[in-house]
Amino acid sequence: MSERFPDIDWWCDRCKAYLNSQIGFDDHRYTWKCTECGHKNSISRDNIYKSHEDYWHQNNESTGGKLMGIMDLLKQLADGVYDGERTDSEMNGVSSGFYIDKGTPVKYREGKSTKFFDGKENIRTPGKRTEERFVTDEEKTTFFQSYGFIRDMFGDHPEVLDYSRQYYEDKKKNK
Ligand SMILES: [Zn+2]
């Protein structure tokens, strides 16, 4: 089956995950629920931008600042500049997000909590929590590249937004 929009890359409007590679993705659908964050993305011609740059210009004010290299970002991360930044979302009782814990980015997911009545009172059991920590410089670099665009998290740190944006633009060019 051919694609409805050949050669178009689709990205989640919320978490910016690359949708084309998600299991089951089919651009013949009119919406696609991101498997990363659960956001329902509209798959239509109106949602096609010429480039990431266009998209960003339309949706964010650009900082126009000088691009910081990864070494600068890693240093700032180690210095605690980004400590405490976080983003959380909840979907059908499942929460997930990212936060920076003393210089280490952490991605977490927490399942639905369950309730049951034991004959006397309701017992609440928290859902299973999983965490992925970005420990090595390589993992941290991947984190900045893949998730640095998240404005909830790095809105006060445009150098991170810019770095991630540049990464996605380069990736697109080299395809
Ligand atoms: Zn998403």
- Averaged pLDDT for residues 148-163: 92
Task: Give the total number of structural domains in the chain.
Answer: 2
Using the mean position of ligand 1's atoms as its centre, give its distance from the Cα of residue 171 in Å.
Answer: 19
* Same domain as 44, residue 76: no
24-35 CB burial, b ≥16 within 10 A, e <16: eeebeeeebbbe
Least-confidence region, from 3-12, 29-38, 134-143: 3-12
* Same domain as 86, residue 41: no
Using the mean position of ligand 1's atoms as its centre, give its distance from the Cα of residue 121 in Å.
Answer: 38
Using the mean position of ligand 1's atoms as its centre, give its distance from the Cα of residue 108 in Å.
Answer: 15
* Same domain as 37, residue 77: no
- Averaged pLDDT for residues 76-86: 94
Of residues 17 and 102, more confidence is placed in 102
Using the mean position of ligand 1's atoms as its centre, give its distance from the Cα of residue 28 in Å.
Answer: 18
Band of the pLDDT at 62, cuts 50, 70, 90? very low
Using the mean position of ligand 1's atoms as its centre, give its distance from the Cα of residue 39 in Å.
Answer: 5
Range of the domain at 162: 70-173
In a domain, 78, yes or no: yes
* Same domain as 150, residue 74: yes
Using the mean position of ligand 1's atoms as its centre, give its distance from the Cα of residue 18 in Å.
Answer: 8
Residue 94 in this model has a pLDDT that exceeds 80: yes
* Same domain as 75, residue 44: no
Given CA atoms 65, 164, 157, 73 in this order, what sign does their dihedral have? Answer: negative
Nearest alpha-carbon partner for 37 in 150, 169, 172 = 150
pLDDT for 26-57, tens place per residue? 999 989 999 999 988 989 887 887 777 666 65
Residue 66 in this model has a pLDDT that exceeds 60: no
| Residue 64, token pair as written in the block | 């126009």
In a domain, 141, yes or no: yes
Q: What local confidence, expressed as pLDDT, does residue 79 receive?
A: 92
Q: What local confidence, expressed as pLDDT, does residue 133 receive?
A: 97
In a domain, 149, yes or no: yes
